[in-house]
Structure 1
């Protein structure tokens, strides 16, 4: 067994362990950290398979942005795991069914083998080009329509997320963008001329002190 094969088995074992801990960890923060470890090991496996583009994209997109965002969200939400575990066995049959379907689809793809690369991609690989160039040629020649459809779906999802975030709520203040753009300086501030010095106002007149009523003196009888 050579060094490359040894590293492959090492990264694969760590990847399987991290994936197992993602679904068995009781703390959600620990689960996110194990998921980040799994992504890093998958990136290392892709580097061994000479798929540099996919490895770098996995590190930059998932480890550098998505998983860090997930980690901060999970830490700030302070999730109550007791309430989340109450419906585990209720949804377990559906989750197991989805897992079996995904496993069968992966087995069908892997056992069926992969088709040969198009002629342009094969030329790019044989002439000393990188697999990134071959992947770009493959995406924008044979799979150009699926790439465009996926791009449109992602744009629609982005617009929908922005629309849901910026929806008008009754408990928040809303500013009309048109009014904010067309506002003028004289409408925002009014300059009032005041004298440099002003005489002090006269003191108010002193009020007379109240007079106490005289006490009644009883009359003496003759």
Structure 2
């Protein structure tokens, strides 16, 4: 076993452990942190497969944006973890059964892609040409080739996706900034134009008179008793 295979098994083992802890951790913050660890291990596996663009995209998009936002939301919301996980172990056997079935189905579908094709017998000249072509393919950067495809052959779908994302951003901002009666937003222009006399108002009030002490009450009960 070479060092590349060793790293693959190491990253895969940590990925499986982190994925299992995502669904078994009682604290949602810990579950999110284990999910971040799983994303990093998946990115490392993609690096071993020479998919650098997918690896850096996974780290930048999911770890750098989505999971940070998820952590902020989880920490801001006071989630009752015990109430959410009250019936977890009750439904765990059927959930595990469904997970095993899905894993077996995916393995049955994808197992054909891992079987190496039969190598045709060829002469030494053909073998040398195939080896030269393989070395030339290995030297090509997949990120560079993906960029060429995006900005040449798939330029129009890329522009359509960019316009859709821009419309979604504008729509989200427009929905957030609507004027509602229960909103407590303050207009910044009014804050800028405010003056000192508008903030502080001096009111003249008459002086407060000292309170007159009350006369002591006669002990009526003691006089009636005497």
Displacement of 1:12: 0.8
Could you list the per-position Cα deviations for residues 71-102 of structure 1 after superposition, in whole angstroms to 9, with x for gaps in the alignment? 12212212112343468789xx99x9899889
Partner of 1:164: 175
Structure 1 residues 51-60 or 167-176, which shifts more? 167-176
Any unmatched runs of 5+ in structure 2? 115-132, 198-226
Query: Which structure is larger by alpha-carbon Rg, 1 or 2?
Result: 1
Corresponding residue to 1:153 among 161, 164, 170: 164
Displacement of 1:49: 1.3
Partner of 2:149: 138
Superposed counterparts of 1:1-222, under 5 Å: 1-85=1-85, 108=109, 111=112, 126=137, 128-173=139-184, 180=189
- The alpha-carbon distance between structure 1 residues 127 and 158, as it changes in their structure 2 partners (threshold 3 A), is same
Query: What is the distance in 1 between the residues matched to 2:44 and 2:99?
Result: 28
Displacement of 1:130: 1.8
Query: What is the distance in 1 between the residues matched to 2:101 and 2:170?
Result: 33
SS in 2 for 1:168: coil
Query: Over the residues paired in the alignment, what is the CA RMSD in angstroms?
Result: 4.1
- The alpha-carbon distance between structure 1 residues 8 and 98, as it changes in their structure 2 partners (threshold 3 A), is closer
Partner of 2:128: none
Structure 1 residues 58-67 or 19-28, which shifts more? 58-67
- The alpha-carbon distance between structure 1 residues 17 and 97, as it changes in their structure 2 partners (threshold 3 A), is closer
| Alignment TM-score, normalising by the size of structure 2 | 0.58
Displacement of 1:50: 1.5
Query: What is the distance in 1 between the residues matched to 2:161 and 2:110?
Result: 20
Any unmatched runs of 5+ in structure 1? 114-121, 192-222
Displacement of 1:13: 1.1
Report the number of matched residues.
174
- The alpha-carbon distance between structure 1 residues 169 and 152, as it changes in their structure 2 partners (threshold 3 A), is same
Displacement of 1:28: 0.3
Q: Which has the higher contact order (CA 8 A, sep 6+)?
A: 2
